[in-house]
Amino acid sequence: MTKGLPRVALFLFLSTVMSSMVSLSRNAPLSSDLVLEAISVTKSYGNRQVVDQVSAELRRGERLALTGPSGSGKTTLLNCCGGIDRADSGILRLLNQNLAQLSGEQLSAVRRHSIGTIFQFFHLLPTLTAAENIELPLQLIGQDSTARKARVCELLERIQLTSRAGAFPAQLSGGEMQRIAIARALAHRPALLLADEPTGNLDSANGEKILTLLKELSDETGTAILLVTHSEQAAAICHRVLHMRDGRIERESEA
C-alpha cells in the first residue's frame, strides 16, 4: 500500500497544513438542502462568451444531467461549478459559500472536502495501486490511517473490486478504472460529484454498470451529481436534464 506514496508525501503534507489553516463552514447546519446554486453565471475566453448567463440549482441527493453539442460550454460550466475555473460574473454558491469570495487556498480546501470529480479518461494516478488511488483524497483531508484503510476496504467491496486492490491502473480494464475513479471521488463523502462524460470511453455494458453504480451510490449517500453527458442512457439516471447550446441553457426537461 505504500509503494509510490512517498512521491506525493510533500504535496499531501502541504495540502493538509493548508487545509487546517482554512476556516470552513462545511460542518455548520445548512439553511436548506441546496448544494449548488448558479445565478447568471458567465464565462468568456477572449471575446467569446462560452458560458452565457446560466442559472441552475442542485439539491442534496439530486442528479442533474447537462447535455448539448460539443463546444456548447458544458465542461467550462462544470469547471466553474467545481472551482477549477473562475466564472467572470454571476454567482456560484456551493454549500452556501460564494466561490468568488474564496481565495485560491480556500477554494482548494472546498474542493478537497466537498467535491468529487470523475472524468471520461479516468485520470487515475498510474504509479499508485487501485487502493492507493482511492485512499488519496482521504490523505488530502488528513484522515488517520486506520479510518482510511477501513473506508478503502468498504469502497472496494462496494464496487466489487476487492480482489484488484493491489493492481495498478494499467492492469485494469476501462470499466474497472472508472469504478475505482468513482470510489476515489466519493471516498471523502463529498456533497457534490461532478462527472464529465464518465461513460464516454466505455462500451455500453460497462457504461450501464457505471451509471447504475452512480445512481445507487448517490441514493445511498445523498451526494448530488452534476453529470455532463451525450448519452440518453446516462441522462435517464438523472432527475432533470439541462440542454445547453452556445453557452446558454436552451431548455430544461424531466429525465
By CB under 5 A, tell whether 75 contacts Mg ion. Answer: yes
How many CB atoms are located within 10 Å of the residue 19 CB? 18
CA-to-CA distance for 171 and 175, rounded, in angstroms? 12
Q: Are 38 and 57 in contact (CB under 8 A)?
A: yes
Q: Which does 207 bind (CB under 5 to 8 A by kind): ligand ADP, Mg ion, none?
A: none
By CB under 6 A, tell whether 166 contacts ligand ADP. Answer: no
By CB under 5 A, tell whether 231 contacts Mg ion. Answer: no
How many CB atoms are located within 10 Å of the residue 237 CB? 22
Instruction: Give the range of 68-76, 114-122, 139-147, 199-207 binding Mg ion by CB under 5 A.
Output: 68-76
Which residue, 50 or 99, has its beta carbon nearer to ligand ADP?
50
Of 188, 222, 250, 227, nearest to 35 (Cα)? Answer: 222
**Residue/partner pairs of 46-53 with CB below 8 Å, 24 or more apart:** 49/247, 50/76, 50/247, 51/76, 51/77, 51/80, 51/87, 51/247, 52/246, 52/247, 52/248, 53/90, 53/248
By CB under 6 A, tell whether 67 contacts ligand ADP. Answer: no
Among 27, 70, 146, 163, binds ligand ADP (CB under 6 A): 70
How many CB atoms are located within 10 Å of the residue 32 CB? 10
Instruction: Give the range of 69-77, 129-137, 146-154, 158-166 binding ligand ADP by CB under 6 A.
Output: 69-77
Tell me if residue 194 falls in helix, strand or coil. strand
By CB under 6 A, tell whether 75 contacts ligand ADP. Answer: yes
By CB under 6 A, tell whether 129 contacts ligand ADP. Answer: no
Among 37, 41, 62, 73, binds ligand ADP (CB under 6 A): 73
In whole angstroms, how close is the CB of 194 to ligand ADP at the nearest point?
A: 12
Among 41, 62, 65, 74, binds ligand ADP (CB under 6 A): 74
Q: What x/- string results for residues 27 through 56 when contact with ligand ADP is judged by CB under 6 A? A: ------------------x----x------
Q: Which does 13 bind (CB under 5 to 8 A by kind): Mg ion, ligand ADP, none?
A: none
In whole angstroms, how close is the CB of 123 to ligand ADP at the nearest point?
A: 16
Instruction: Give the range of 65-73, 88-96, 138-146, 212-220 binding ligand ADP by CB under 6 A.
Output: 65-73
Helix, strand, coil tally for the chain in percent (to 5): 40, 25, 35
Which stretch of DSSP H or E encloses residue 12?
A: helix 6-21
Residue with cell 467535491: 115
Of 85, 134, 132, 142, nearest to 112 (Cα)? Answer: 142
Q: C-alpha angle 4/9/14, rounded to 5°?
A: 155
Which residue, 230 or 240, has its beta carbon nearer to ligand ADP?
230
Which stretch of DSSP H or E encloses residue 9?
A: helix 6-21
In whole angstroms, how close is the CB of 46 to ligand ADP at the nearest point?
A: 7
Contact residues: ligand ADP, CB under 6 A: 45, 50, 68, 70-76
> Residues in the site for Mg ion, rule: CB under 5 A?
75
